[in-house]
A and B are shown apart, each in its own frame.
Chain A
Amino acid sequence: MEMWRILGVAVLPLCLVSVYLSFISPPPIEFGAAAPPDVYRILYVHVPPAWISYLSMGFSLVSSIVYLARRSVKADAIALSSMRIGLPLSWVAIVTGSLWANITWGEYWSWDPRETTTLILALAFTGYFALRWSIPDIERKRRVSAMYAIASFITVPLSYYSAILWRTLHPIVITHGEIALAPHTGLILMINLATALLIFLTLLYLSYKVEIAGGKQ
């Protein structure tokens, strides 16, 4: 049995457990009594896509460096696959954050530093595919895409540290390895993050197999 199939089978029950736990957990006190009681549950579908999009950029950075150093087609396939998963998830993080912001901040979009820098991150993902599709020559496509992926990684620390460096409405949940959440909320968030990580690895492996089997990229 192939690795991605084993991962896929393992991740299915985890998905169900993650969704179930996301809805049964009691509201944490740190979100305040003024906020609607269940709105914080968006946390469980907002933080994982954001973190997985950071991870996608990280995978793409490393594989793009390997591609440029060794001209390895496999490394290019990993970079492309990683970007392919990060692209929709970065937009999911933006939309879920925007829906949450409308309830707690009173508007969908306020050009908050975290919102703005995460939008730049999502645009960087989108630009990768626009660039890749615009170059017909395969060798040049791979080389230019790798250079672009390396340069666009800067959007990850930019997005992550924006909430720490600048004045922002966005709460800082995880800093210096500590989670500023009630223990049960932190635990459920970690389970959701672990599930998202397993889904990412499964899809990455599946996409990699597609690219290697196709050979066109």
Chain B
Amino acid sequence: MYMELLLSYLLYWGILAVLTIYLLIKYRRARHES
């Protein structure tokens, strides 16, 4: 049960962190190119 709980939290916050980093990298690249 605690494994499911841990996985759920890691998944939710992990996806948000990955999405943020992905967008920040894209933003930096877009600014650098423009």
Q: Which residues of chain B are within 8 angstroms of A48 by Cβ–Cβ distance?
A: 12
Contact with B along A164-208 (1 / 0, CB 8 A): 000000000000000000000000000000000001000100110
In the complex, A10 has a CB within 8 A of chain B: no
Bound together, the chains give a CA A45 to CA B16 distance in angstroms of: 11
Q: Which of B1-34 contact A (CB under 8 A)?
A: 1-2, 4-5, 7-9, 11-13, 15-16, 19-20, 23-24, 26-27, 30-31, 33-34
With contacts A210-B30, A213-B30 known, is A199 near B8, CB below 8 A? no
Main secondary structure on chain B at its contact with chain A?
helix
Are the CB atoms of B15 and A210 closer together than 8 Å? no
B7 vs chain A, min Cβ distance (A): 6
Number of residues in A with C-beta < 8 Å to the partner? 31
Bound together, the chains give a CA A45 to CA B2 distance in angstroms of: 14
Are the CB atoms of B1 and A92 closer together than 8 Å? no
Question: Of all chain A residues, which has the CB nearest B30?
Answer: A213
Q: Which residues of chain B are within 8 angstroms of A19 by Cβ–Cβ distance?
A: 9, 13
In the complex, A151 has a CB within 8 A of chain B: no
Bound together, the chains give a CA A85 to CA B23 distance in angstroms of: 10
Bound together, the chains give a CA A92 to CA B13 distance in angstroms of: 10
In the complex, A49 has a CB within 8 A of chain B: yes
Bound together, the chains give a CA A199 to CA B20 distance in angstroms of: 9
Q: Which residues of chain B are within 8 angstroms of A41 by Cβ–Cβ distance?
A: 5
With contacts A19-B13, A206-B24, A206-B27 known, is A42 near B4, CB below 8 A? yes
Bound together, the chains give a CA A49 to CA B13 distance in angstroms of: 10
In the complex, A74 has a CB within 8 A of chain B: no
Provide 13 A-B residue pairs closer than 8 Å at the C-beta atoms, listed in order of the A residue: A15-B13, A38-B1, A41-B5, A45-B13, A46-B8, A48-B12, A88-B19, A92-B12, A95-B11, A100-B4, A103-B4, A203-B20, A206-B24
Interface residues of B (CB under 8 A from A): 1-2, 4-5, 7-9, 11-13, 15-16, 19-20, 23-24, 26-27, 30-31, 33-34
* Contacts A15-B13, A36-B1, A45-B13 supplied; 8 other A-B pairs, CB < 8 Å: A38-B2, A42-B4, A45-B9, A45-B12, A46-B8, A85-B19, A96-B12, A210-B23
